[in-house]
């Protein structure tokens, strides 16, 4: 990193500025936070109010929210602004780490570095999430910096670089649980694969591994107990015969099988289906073309000429895939952005392929040149399209802000969408409530529990027949809506004044 700063200071300065501008644009283009962001900000608000126990009771891995509230206090800004600033910082650290790793692998080849800068700044799967308030950017930036120090260690065998890996690997665990896996494997493959000449190699391996195994076991126990205890409690309440993690795992498998029996053949099919899910989501996050560049770079050899670096890269790719498959198998679903660590690890060698193919194309005939230009145009189009994309949830924000102005702070609001509750300026406890869904809205209507609320905000898609019927039912029971937000494309938010309707019906 120091050599890159020394040799290419203007390039790094342009990288930092452009990354900040891209984040600002994405937030401006789509100024509605994501659902997970509501949770993180509510926990941060609890912490800002000094209610740390309440935050930890809700979720015992709240370190991202700790960073958010620390940023808010340090910069004297509100919680939401602090989260956006923090994610902009993490996104910038991520692109810096990526370029630094490519610089390390290419001996700071200027042409390859320029390709890496353009590639990571406009990589669609990064820009897709720049406007999100998520902990993933914190995890990914620490993950890549730890990988950078591993590659440095492969070249220098300097124990300071080993310490750098350890620091960032530990920091990554504060954001996502997966970081623990890399803590477990890294000392083994580093010292066994390459550091054969390191003084006191066995002593370092034994002490480092022992400490990491103990710390990881504690963290795993804590994480599993927190993540799945609520699911086990809910299963008991629902009368399901689920008493442990193994039972929960088998229940998830049965849900995927449906009516089919849990036989070895069907279980094998579930494993195959989950492998398919992992590679499908990875292909999506790699935006197709980039995966082709990775395959070319690996098999044609313009990247990873150092054997130890190649082994490190392969171990990290394989470990990421195993983690993804394990998560998919246990939980019976996979969030697309969870594949980003794998995608970025693969993407490290893509600039080498692009550079190699570009040179070959312009040494060849007109057909090759035309093809190369066409590919570049397609990639630019994909990147620019992602920068213009929005989540189309502005109507939820508008409806919530109307409620914030119209409803008093002591008046209760129910909605089938938690974003409306958030923008209605409700308390952290209301934002963390699990009751916001269309199914619960129907149940509350049928059991007359909606009378406990002053306002009901119904987010509906009129193209869905069940939503259309529910709107008619709500109008019948609660009267005409007092506010309607039209998002276009037959999507609306209807706000009903339950209190006034109840007073009229009993007056």
Residue 341: band (very low, low, confident or very high) from pLDDT cuts 50, 70, 90: very high
Residue 68: band (very low, low, confident or very high) from pLDDT cuts 50, 70, 90: very high
Is pLDDT at 495 greater than 80 in this prediction?
Answer: yes
List, in sequence order, every residue forming a beta bridge with 415; answer none if it has no partner: 457
Portion of the chain with pLDDT greater than 70, in percent: 83
Residue (of 255, 284, 289, 420) closest to 342 by Cα position:
284
As a whole number, the mean pLDDT across the chain is 84
List, in sequence order, every residue forming a beta bridge with 458; answer none if it has no partner: 494
Could you tell me the residue ranges of all domains in the chain?
Answer: 394-506
pLDDT tens for 272-329 read: 888 888 999 999 998 778 899 999 999 887 788 888 888 889 889 988 998 888 788 7
**What is the pLDDT averaged over residues 7-17?**
86
What tokens were used for 433? 């409530």
Residue (of 409, 456, 418, 394) closest to 42 by Cα position:
418
Please report the pLDDT score of residue 34 as a whole number: 95
Full-model pTM: 0.87
Residue 336: band (very low, low, confident or very high) from pLDDT cuts 50, 70, 90: confident
**What is the pLDDT averaged over residues 193-222?**
65
**What is the pLDDT averaged over residues 67-84?**
96
**What is the pLDDT averaged over residues 190-195?**
56
Q: Which residues contact 271 (CB under 8 A, 6 or more apart)?
A: 329
Residue 227: band (very low, low, confident or very high) from pLDDT cuts 50, 70, 90: low
CA dist list (Å): 365 to 354, 358, 368, 376: 18, 12, 6, 17
Please report the pLDDT score of residue 166 as a whole number: 86
């Amino acid at each position: 990193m120091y050599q890159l700063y020394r040799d290419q200071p203007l390039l790094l300065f342009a990288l930092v500025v452009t990354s900040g501008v891209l984040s600002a644009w994405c937030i401006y283009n789509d100024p509605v936070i994501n659902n997970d962001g509501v949770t993180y900000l509510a926990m941060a608000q609890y912490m800002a109010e000094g209610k740390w126990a309440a935050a930890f009771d809700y979720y015992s891995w709240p370190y991202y929210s700790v960073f958010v509230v620390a940023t808010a206090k340090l910069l004297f800004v509100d919680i939401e602004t602090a989260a956006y600033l923090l994610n902009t910082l993490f996104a910038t650290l991520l692109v810096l780490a990526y370029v630094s790793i490519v610089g390390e692998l290419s001996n700071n080849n200027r042409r390859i570095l320029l390709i890496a800068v353009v590639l990571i700044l406009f990589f669609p799967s990064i820009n897709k999430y720049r406007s999100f308030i998520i902990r993933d950017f914190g995890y990914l930036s620490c993950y890549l910096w730890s990988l950078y120090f591993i590659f440095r260690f492969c070249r220098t065998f300097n124990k300071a670089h080993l310490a750098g890996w350890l620091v960032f690997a530990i920091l990554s665990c504060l954001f996502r649980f997966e970081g623990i896996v890399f803590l477990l494997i890294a000392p083994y493959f580093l010292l066994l694969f390459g550091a054969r000449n390191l003084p006191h190699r066995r002593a370092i391996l034994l002490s480092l591994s022992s400490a990491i195994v103990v710390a990881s076991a504690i963290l795993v126990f804590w994480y599993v107990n927190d993540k799945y205890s609520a699911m086990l409690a809910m299963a008991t309440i629902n009368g399901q015969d689920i008493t442990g993690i193994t039972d929960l795992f088998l229940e998830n498998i049965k849900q995927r099988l449906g009516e089919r029996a849990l036989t070895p053949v069907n279980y094998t099919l579930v494993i195959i289906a989950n492998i398919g899910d992992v590679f499908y989501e990875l292909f999506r996050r790699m935006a197709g073309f980039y995966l082709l560049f990775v395959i070319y770079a690996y098999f044609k050899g313009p990247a990873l000429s150092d054997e130890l670096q190649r082994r490190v890269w392969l171990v990290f790719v394989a470990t990421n895939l195993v983690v993804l498959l394990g998560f998919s198998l246990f939980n019976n679903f996979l969030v697309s952005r969870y594949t980003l660590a794998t995608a970025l690890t693969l993407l490290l060698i893509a600039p080498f392929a692009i550079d190699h193919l570009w040179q070959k194309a312009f040494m060849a005939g007109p057909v090759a040149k035309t093809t190369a230009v066409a590919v570049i145009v397609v990639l630019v189009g994909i990147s620019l399209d992602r920068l213009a994309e929005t989540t189309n949830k502005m109507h939820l924000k508008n409806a919530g802000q109307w409620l914030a102005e119209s409803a008093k702070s002591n008046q209760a609001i129910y909605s089938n969408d938690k974003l409306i509750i958030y923008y209605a300026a409700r308390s952290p406890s209301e934002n963390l409530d699990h009751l916001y869904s269309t199914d619960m809205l129907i149940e509350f209507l049928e059991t007359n529990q909606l009378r406990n609320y002053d306002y009901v905000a119904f987010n509906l898609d009129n193209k869905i027949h069940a939503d259309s019927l529910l709107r008619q039912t709500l109008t019948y029971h609660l009267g005409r809506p007092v506010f309607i937000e039209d998002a276009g494309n037959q999507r609306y938010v209807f706000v009903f004044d339950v209190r006034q309707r109840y007073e009229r019906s009993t007056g």
